[in-house]
Structure 1
């Protein structure tokens, strides 16, 4: 997959199309397997497998992924607006919700850091 020769707009659209197709395939895999895993997570796992076997280079989808990351705030607006419907719950249980968010965020950061460290050590060991 060589998108480097395209104009910037076509490259962005192509990368977004690839990411969307991976999302759709992830949805099909989730439905087929019966696992309660979101389509996006399955698509990301599929992308990780493609990176691991060398079918896709990580820099190939950099522009499309970067654009999606820049627009990420738009994905959270519906979730934030739903808080208006549950104001009384947030007032009474807000500290517990914040505690769960803080602990889960910390856990994700620690697991991500440990995974990156292990992968870096593994790749350095296998380079020599």
Structure 2
């Protein structure tokens, strides 16, 4: 039986939803930093944290709806996370004028490599899923 909340109470819960979800993300990051240190993992803590969150969602320990509002808010405010990069560009404009073409070349090559690797992985996973679907269909026939 579902609990009926008053409109005021529901509004209060919605106001707390985003801060609580962002706190959950921060807590997962702190936990993943501890895991990386304790287990001497070769991956950064943010990757471990994302894998932990994915595992919690896939195992249905945390419903997707519990993290949706916080992630939407963080994505909407993502520009704020790039302010330090813009300040660095302004502070080191001389360096960029001299070495800028090399930096742009590295960015372009790394972007192409990431896109190619992503396309390869998506293609392989897609083909794998098609084969699994064909096997499943063959078993049912």
Task: With the length of structure 2 as denominator, give the TM-score of the two structures.
Answer: 0.69
- 2:48 pairs with 1:42: yes
- 2:45 pairs with 1:25: no
What's the CA shift for 1:123? 9.5
Further displaced range: 78-87 or 111-120:
111-120
Over 6 Å off, 4+ runs? none
Aligned to 1:85: 91
Query: After superposition, what is the alpha-carbon deviation per residue over 1:47-105, rounded to whole angstroms, capped at 9, x for unaligned?
Result: 12223333223333111001001111111111221223322221112112112112222
State the Cα RMSD in Å: 2.9
Structure 2 gap ranges (5+)? 137-141
Largest Rg, 1 or 2: 2
- 2:65 pairs with 1:62: no
CA distance in 1, matches of 2:131, 2:26: 32
Cα 1:120–1:13, aligned 2, differ >3 Å: closer, same or farther?
farther
CA distance in 2, matches of 1:124, 1:55: 30
Further displaced range: 22-31 or 34-43:
34-43
Structure 1 gap ranges (5+)? none
